[in-house]
């Protein structure tokens, strides 16, 4: 029996198939990495430019008073983000205030569905509190309701975010 002569590995067909697959894989990976680098650079540019944009706000309501329970006139919201800014002055060191932005027809205890669904800001036993919060409201007619105790003065401003 004659010994089979072994062909060198580079003369076998499957060797060249493996080489071609490896080369194509390396080329595809390199091309993919370059595209990701370009996309990441573009995303970084977009992110930094959007961070420099300050949202514009338009005042839609202002309400101030001294009584323990008060309700503002109705105002319209287009829907989206609103900023509730408030200043509360407490001269007794024990007063508090609950500030609500309610849809017309709702009360501070229940909404139209009977659920308690109100945003509130508390001015707990401190002399004066000024702050703001951003909430999202659907389009509709709203009013400000303030329920306070031992508060000498409050002022609430509603600003709507402009697109």
DSSP 47-96: HHHHHTPPPEEEEEEEEEE-SSEEE---EEE-SEEEEEEEEEE-SSSS-E
Give yes or no for a contact between 96 and 124, defined as CB atoms under 8 angstroms apart. Answer: yes
Going from N- to C-terminal start, the domains of the chain cover 9-51, 56-162
Q: What is the pLDDT of residues 10-57, one digit of tens each?
A: 788 888 889 999 998 888 888 776 655 555 555 554 555 556 678 899
Q: Could you please state the CATH topology (level 3) that the domain comprising 56-162 is classified under.
A: Jelly Rolls (2.60.120)
pLDDT band at 150 (very low <50, low <70, confident <90, very high): confident
pLDDT of residue 76: 94
Gyration radius of the chain over CA positions: 33
Helix (H, G, I), strand (E, B) or coil at 106: coil
pTM to 2 decimal places = 0.59
pLDDT, tens digit (0-9, with 9 covering 90-100), for 95-140 = 777 788 888 888 877 555 555 444 444 333 344 678 888 888 899 9
């Amino acid at each position: 029996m004659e010994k089979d002569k072994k062909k060198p590995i580079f003369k076998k067909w499957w060797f060249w198939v493996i080489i071609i697959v490896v080369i194509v894989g390396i080329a595809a990976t390199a091309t993919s990495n370059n595209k990701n680098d370009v996309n990441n650079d573009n995303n970084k540019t977009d992110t930094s430019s959007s961070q420099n944009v300050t949202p514009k706000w338009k005042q839609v309501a202002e309400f101030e008073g001294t009584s323990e329970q008060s309700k503002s006139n109705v105002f319209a919201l287009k829907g989206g983000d609103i900023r509730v800014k408030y200043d509360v002055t407490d001269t007794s060191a024990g007063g508090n205030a609950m500030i609500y932005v309610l849809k017309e027809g709702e009360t501070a205890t229940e909404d139209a569905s009977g659920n308690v669904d109100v945003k509130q800001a508390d001015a707990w036993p401190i002399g004066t509190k000024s702050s703001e919060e951003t909430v999202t409201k659907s389009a509709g007619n709203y009013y400000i309701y303030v329920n306070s105790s031992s508060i000498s003065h409050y002022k609430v401003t509603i600003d709507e975010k402009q697109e």
